[in-house]
Amino acid sequence: MRKDLEATKKAVAEVDVLIAKIIKEELERAAREARERVNKKSSRETVDVAVALSASFQDNKSKFSWPVSGFVSQKFGRQAHPVLKGIVIQNDGVNIQTKQGEGVRSVFNGEVSAVAFTPGMGNTVIVRHGEYFTVYTGLKEISVKKGQHVTTNQEIGKVLSNSDGISELRFQIRKNFDALDPQEWLRN
């Protein structure tokens, strides 16, 4: 059990480093593009679109559909390990157990910032919504690619099942680098 926990912690740490790197690159790219367009009319339009998308994302707090059907198997934040005494787990999102082969859907309109694979965790898709990002980890199949625009409830992939047959999506919402509690954003 402890060996599995250590392997999972290592894989989660790799995903967290990947997420931070991608968000940093996206923010740097956006700043660079804004600087390059300072004297162009399209710059103002690009900024206006990003601001509008962020505001629209914020306005939909507690109204988003769930990315998969199922139940929350691990909540956001710090909590005691369900089996191992004295072990505390930090989760920057929520884990949602679902059925095998379940389709994973984007919770809001946005642009795919990255598609990446992490051993032990499967594929991760990061979608940018202005200054917000949604992160979907634990996918076996991906049906989107980097740079692609996605719409609300569009399927982005299928959930991965582990060797025990458990299908679980790790879902995060971030405002720039800050992890937010997804359950406050999803429809109850």
Question: What span, in angstroms and rounded, lies between the C-alpha atoms of 121 and 109?
Answer: 25
Distance set, CA 185 to CA 60, 89, 158 (Å)? 8, 22, 22
Range of the domain at 96: 2-184
Helix (H) or strand (E) holding 92: none
pLDDT tens sequence across 140-176? 999 999 999 999 999 999 999 988 899 999 999 999 8
Tell me how far apart the terminal alpha carbons of the chain are, to the nearest angstrom. 33
pLDDT tens sequence across 16-63? 888 888 888 887 887 777 667 655 554 455 555 566 667 789 989 999
pLDDT for residue 13 is more than 70:
yes
Give me the mean pLDDT over the 1-20 stretch.
76
Give me the mean pLDDT over the 81-99 stretch.
86
Task: Name the residue among 127, 133, 110 with its Cα closest to residue 185.
Answer: 133
pLDDT of residue 26: 83
pLDDT of residue 48: 57
pLDDT tens sequence across 100-127? 999 999 999 999 999 999 888 899 999 9
Distant-in-sequence, close-in-space partners of 131: CB < 8 Å, separation ≥ 6: 50, 54, 175, 176
pLDDT of residue 14: 84
Worst-scoring range by mean pLDDT, 10-14, 15-19, 22-26, 81-85? 81-85
Torsion of CA 60, 66, 67, 73, to 10 degrees: 130
pLDDT of residue 102: 96
Residue in the structure block whose two tokens are 């939909």? 60
Q: Report whether 86 contacts 120 (CB < 8 A).
A: no
CATH number of 66's domain: 2.70.70.10
Instruction: Give me the number of domains the chain comprises.
Output: 1
Give me the mean pLDDT over the 128-151 stretch.
95
pTM, 2 dp: 0.83
Q: How far is CA 109 from the centre of its chain?
A: 13
pLDDT of residue 143: 97
Which has more confidence, 98 or 90? 98
Question: What span, in angstroms and rounded, lies between the C-alpha atoms of 89 and 13?
Answer: 12
